[in-house]
Amino acid sequence: MATTCADFLEADDFLQVVRMTPLVSIDLIVCDYAGRVLVGHRRNRPALGTWSVPGGRICKNERLDAAFTRVVDAELGISGMERSAARFGGLFEHLYSDNFAGADEITTHYVVIAYFMTLESTASVGRFDQHSRYIWLTPEDLLAHDGVHENTKAYFR
């Protein structure tokens, strides 16, 4: 299992961080050469049970370049990829009515840095810590799919 920023805090401490502050994260909008987009079926809260793009939080004192490389490795199983290999896609806000712990009345707020990237090989992309399975969808199919989370659809609107 990949190391995450939350691994450095006890669950109760991290829940207080989620309760009090926005989290900063990177989302990876991964495309193949046919223009299809990789989405995974979420195993964890928030957004449990929906299809979303891979991504992960930026840790305290972690530089963007290091965070990008770590998130790509943790989410896609591709080591050593540099941020310069991706295209900046903008800043987004993701607001969720729940949180990783399922605690009552604590929402989750992410400020997300989106990066678009095209992979040469999609043979064995994806890790299964956060997602139970992956599918490739065209942007049109992604937008029409009822199970794709609205935050993921926002990248294509």
Task: Give me 134's structure tokens.
Answer: 């992956």
Span 3-22, pLDDT tens digits: 566 567 888 999 999 999 99
* Backbone φ, ψ for residue 47 (5° rounding): 70, 25
Confidence of residue 62 (pLDDT cuts 50, 70, 90): very high
- Please compute the mean of the pLDDT values over residues 138-150 and round it to a whole number: 98
Is 8 flagged in the annotation as binding?
A: yes
Q: Is the pLDDT of residue 70 over 90?
A: yes
**pTM confidence score:** 0.91
Q: Residue 4: what pLDDT?
A: 62
Does residue 136 carry a pLDDT above 80?
Answer: yes
14 belongs to an annotated ligand binding site: yes
> Does 42 belong to an annotated binding site?
yes
Model confidence band, residue 124 (pLDDT cutoffs 50, 70, 90): low
pLDDT digits (tens, 9 = 90+) for 74-114: 999 899 999 999 999 999 999 999 999 999 999 999 999 99
pLDDT band at 132 (very low <50, low <70, confident <90, very high): confident
* Domains detected in the chain: 5-156 (3.90.79.10)
